Structure 1
Amino acid sequence: MFMKKNLLLRLCLIMSAILALSSCIHDEVYSSSDPSSTEYTNKTLWKQDEKYIKNVLDVYSENENDIRKGSGVPLWDYATTVESFDESFLMVPVVEDNKVVSVLQVPRKGDKVHFYYTNFAAQISFFQGLVFAKHKKVITRESSVSAKSISCTTQSFAIWYPADESNPDPESGEGSWGTRTIVVCRELLEDCAGIVDEFGQCPGGGGGDPPGFPYPGGGNNDPEEEETPCEKVNETINDADFKNKFDELNTTSNFNLDHEVGYLEQNGQFLPAASTSCGNSLEAKVTTSQCITGIMHTHTAKQCNGYYSGRVPSWGDIMVFLHLPVVQAKNCLGSSKEAYHVTITSGGSYMIKYNNDNPPTNTNYNFEAGEVWYENALQKLENTNQSTQQNIENLFMEFIDTYANIDGLEVYKMEGNTAKKLAYNSTTKTTSLLPCP
């Protein structure tokens, strides 16, 4: 009898321990999710606009009865601003019984914030994994897409699916990574009634319920629209200092030299640079490579060895651009989008740009393998009298497509005060020029 009671007591203690452990896990997820709490700790995989999240949390806490629709608790620690940092937008998972049941989206319009509950399956799946998956990691996001009426951003991460639950650790066990992705397209939603269904429809019919709440962070003006890649290119081209240096380099006498000449932009200053005789590597009197965010230089009409230089950027231009301006623009200006590399030739001038905030992490390029192919192909065009600028551009873009296929890498042909983007068709192996507006 004593042993039976002892066994029962031990079972009760074990059960109590399990319940306590379960309670601890439950509390870890929900501890900062009390709607009345203003505590916030970022538990996502990305950097967030914490100022906006905290301000919106304050608004929600003060107006929960007017905002809340349905059951569930917003987990503010898992709120994401989806790579926006202008106090303009966030989305936060709403959880009930360890399941994400909806997503609360909060855009700002002027000095008001608006709360919308959405029920998109992809978003719910995204946050379910973000909140509850044991093993997860960030993967490189795709480029954002924007236009005057809509702005879309993609954010992704991977979840580990173990092949054997007895060894779920991705470091030692077998399994596979599965991707969870959200695509957020922000539009003006003030006419919706506060609930958007899975088809993007607004069953409430409008009227502003809720009509928006004062934003404590100020913001009387709308968040500024981010510049498009074309706008950034045009802004650089029309900068007075840039234009003066470009015009100085873009001369026949420079193309007929036996060496390249150019400028490096460092901390807003243009520093002269030149290669040695018969050389093609720019040298400048700089004490450090820090904050060199732009390069412009010439290509000679013909190299000393008799080979033609190519009236487009070289493979080396791309490599230098990715390893120097792209990295330094992120470090010194906050975004790799600010970097540029200009190649000035007798057949035209080209600007290389990278349309992502962070330097590329993918290594899907092999310059060494493409170098010989590219230079031989250029020389073949010359030897067969086929070296039209169109054919040279086709060859250059084929090189990028084959050997430097990097998301966000873009090339623009400069024409006067504007530019045209080079768009390559890998099926026809031809290049078209898309005018910048």
Structure 2
Amino acid sequence: MKKNLLLRLCLIMSAILALSSCIHDEVYSSSDPSSTEYTNKTLWKQDEKYIKNVLDVYSENENDIRKGSGVPLWDYATTVESFDESFLMVPVVEDNKVVSVLQVPRKGDKVHFYYTNFAAQISFFQGLVFAKHKKVITRESSVSAKSISCTTQSFAIWYPADESNPDPESGEGSWGTRTIVVCRELLEDCAGIVDEFGQCPGGGGGDPPGFPYPGGGNNDPEEEETPCEKVNETINDADFKNKFDELNTTSNFNLDHEVGYLEQNGQFLPAASTSCGNSLEAKVTTSQCITGIMHTHTAKQCNGYYSGRVPSWGDIMVFLHLPVVQAKNCLGSSKEAYHVTITSGGSYMIKYNNDNPPTNTNYNFEAGEVWYENALQKLENTNQSTQQNIENLFMEFIDTYANIDGLEVYKMEGNTAKKLAYNSTTKTTSLLPCP
């Protein structure tokens, strides 16, 4: 599983290498931004047609595109294993140092220019441009859960033990890895400088509608996955499935507290509530980026309380205030957020099928909580608490008190999921199979 690629994007740090005058001269003499000549000086094959076309667009519109200082070194541009005229990255250098990375995605017949300052990207290009001895190492590529298309390129730099003999063929030393990760959907809604947490304060060249791309946009990237496809992709992700199977046990349902995981930057952090509690606690970094939550509900009474066999009103509230917001900040879209509730009656995933978080977060949950708890108790008292009736009640609660466009609930069944569809007239719920 390659979801930890996103974590690497924020965390990989490397020392800046010493520069030699010969490399300095070569870099600047061959990368005149006003020149339309291009020579691939990276370690990989590139989509040279796209690079040259983008270079032409940049040269014609430099005054509108260029932000800040530095010179883009087009000979070191990389399309990161993309050959469909869809994306490139090029280092921007000032005073022998990579100061930012210019990223250029194509959307239809327009290209957009974004300046980013991810530490890992800067470190990657610093070594690629200026290191004397470097070699390609195994490249990983994957499409991670939740439809984020990620590609990784790695190469190694030689760190000599003795500067008097820096040749890796004869001298002692070690190889250090530099890695770059591209998850192109990080850029969908941002123009300008992007910080290491994927947040964009705005501004920058290439704001929509962008710049016309020579030759139009006949080779559009693949269409976005449907909500069902996103859910099924998440369910079948190896890391996700391992954590889910670990939680989905009778012994966990019989605990007097909830247990679970928070997904942060592609890693799963253990979380648990206190005894008889229903609020998960976990150690997270200050950057947050909590984009997914999965947890259990207890099946036994504990001081008169049990979690229940479907998600709670609190689960929805937490989902809308945390993963939905953080997925937008860190992954570029709130569609990537999820909240899973694992119960003795079934497992459910809450999703939000909109790119941006809801603008109104003051939902009528206070009144809804009272109604929901009373209605659940009524089912118990009248011996009508079948799983179907509980699902009907839960969806009625959403329809009445959390009627938010894009809020969806899926029931997880093995390696697939079914969407819960609510009929407000009959107040019943049906399961719609995902295609």
What TM-score range do you get, normalising by the shorter chain?
Answer: 0.5 to 0.7
Partner deviation per Cα, 1:275-309 (whole Å, 9 max, x = no partner) = 00000000112233610110000000034133442
Structure 1 residues 399, 169: CA separation in 2 closer, same or farther (over 3 Å shift)?
Answer: farther
TM-score by length of 2: 0.53
The 8 Å contact of residues 93 and 127 in structure 1, kept in 2 or not, is answered as: yes
From 353, 357, 360, the counterpart of 1:359: 357
The 8 Å contact of residues 10 and 197 in structure 2, kept in 1 or not, is answered as: no
Q: Once the 2 structures are TM-superposed, how far is the Cα of residue 363 of structure 1 from its aligned partner?
A: 4.3
Paired residues in the alignment total 435
Q: Once the 2 structures are TM-superposed, how far is the Cα of residue 13 of structure 1 from its aligned partner?
A: 66
Q: Which stretch shows the higher mean deviation, 247-256 or 356-365?
A: 356-365
Q: Once the 2 structures are TM-superposed, how far is the Cα of residue 362 of structure 1 from its aligned partner?
A: 2.9
Matches within 5 A, 1:4-43: none
Q: Which stretch shows the higher mean deviation, 413-422 or 299-308?
A: 299-308
Matches within 5 A, 1:275-424: 275-288=273-286, 290-363=288-361, 365-424=363-422
The 8 Å contact of residues 43 and 78 in structure 1, kept in 2 or not, is answered as: yes
Structure 1 residues 168, 202: CA separation in 2 closer, same or farther (over 3 Å shift)?
Answer: same
Partner deviation per Cα, 1:80-139 (whole Å, 9 max, x = no partner) = 999999999999999999999999999999999999999999999999999999999999
Q: Which stretch shows the higher mean deviation, 46-55 or 237-246?
A: 46-55
Q: Once the 2 structures are TM-superposed, how far is the Cα of residue 221 of structure 1 from its aligned partner?
A: 3.6
The CA distance in 1 between the partners of 2:272 and 2:14, in whole Å, is: 76
Partner SS, residue 31 of structure 1: helix
Structure 1 residues 50, 295: CA separation in 2 closer, same or farther (over 3 Å shift)?
Answer: farther
Gaps of 5+ in 1: none
Q: Once the 2 structures are TM-superposed, how far is the Cα of residue 199 of structure 1 from its aligned partner?
A: 46
The 8 Å contact of residues 302 and 308 in structure 1, kept in 2 or not, is answered as: yes
Structure 1 residues 287, 148: CA separation in 2 closer, same or farther (over 3 Å shift)?
Answer: closer
Structure 1 residues 76, 361: CA separation in 2 closer, same or farther (over 3 Å shift)?
Answer: farther
Q: Once the 2 structures are TM-superposed, how far is the Cα of residue 365 of structure 1 from its aligned partner?
A: 2.3
Structure 1 residues 209, 320: CA separation in 2 closer, same or farther (over 3 Å shift)?
Answer: closer
The 8 Å contact of residues 293 and 340 in structure 1, kept in 2 or not, is answered as: yes
Gaps of 5+ in 2: none
Larger CA Rg, structure 1 vs 2: 1
Structure 1 residues 32, 315: CA separation in 2 closer, same or farther (over 3 Å shift)?
Answer: farther
The CA distance in 2 between the partners of 1:185 and 1:378, in whole Å, is: 43
Q: Once the 2 structures are TM-superposed, how far is the Cα of residue 198 of structure 1 from its aligned partner?
A: 47
Partner deviation per Cα, 1:321-345 (whole Å, 9 max, x = no partner) = 0111111111111111111000000
Q: Which stretch shows the higher mean deviation, 72-81 or 343-352?
A: 72-81
Partner deviation per Cα, 1:345-366 (whole Å, 9 max, x = no partner) = 0000000001111111134721
The 8 Å contact of residues 191 and 207 in structure 1, kept in 2 or not, is answered as: no
The 8 Å contact of residues 262 and 271 in structure 2, kept in 1 or not, is answered as: yes
The 8 Å contact of residues 329 and 339 in structure 1, kept in 2 or not, is answered as: yes
Runs of 4+ in 1 over 6 A off after TM superposition: 3-214, 217-220
Q: Which stretch shows the higher mean deviation, 210-219 or 296-305?
A: 210-219
The CA distance in 1 between the partners of 2:107 and 2:305, in whole Å, is: 58
The 8 Å contact of residues 4 and 265 in structure 2, kept in 1 or not, is answered as: no
Q: Once the 2 structures are TM-superposed, how far is the Cα of residue 372 of structure 1 from its aligned partner?
A: 1.1
Structure 1 residues 182, 306: CA separation in 2 closer, same or farther (over 3 Å shift)?
Answer: same
The 8 Å contact of residues 310 and 378 in structure 1, kept in 2 or not, is answered as: no
Q: Which stretch shows the higher mean deviation, 254-263 or 70-79?
A: 70-79
The 8 Å contact of residues 330 and 358 in structure 1, kept in 2 or not, is answered as: yes
Q: Once the 2 structures are TM-superposed, how far is the Cα of residue 166 of structure 1 from its aligned partner?
A: 82
TM-score by length of 1: 0.53
The CA distance in 2 between the partners of 1:266 and 1:432, in whole Å, is: 33
The CA distance in 1 between the partners of 2:244 and 2:264, in whole Å, is: 16
Q: Which has the higher contact order (CA 8 A, sep 6+)?
A: 2
Structure 1 residues 54, 423: CA separation in 2 closer, same or farther (over 3 Å shift)?
Answer: farther
The 8 Å contact of residues 98 and 126 in structure 2, kept in 1 or not, is answered as: yes
The CA distance in 2 between the partners of 1:370 and 1:74, in whole Å, is: 55
Q: Once the 2 structures are TM-superposed, how far is the Cα of residue 383 of structure 1 from its aligned partner?
A: 1.4
Structure 1 residues 42, 13: CA separation in 2 closer, same or farther (over 3 Å shift)?
Answer: closer
The CA distance in 1 between the partners of 2:269 and 2:9, in whole Å, is: 77
The 8 Å contact of residues 347 and 412 in structure 2, kept in 1 or not, is answered as: yes
Partner deviation per Cα, 1:235-276 (whole Å, 9 max, x = no partner) = 100000000000000000000000000000001110111000
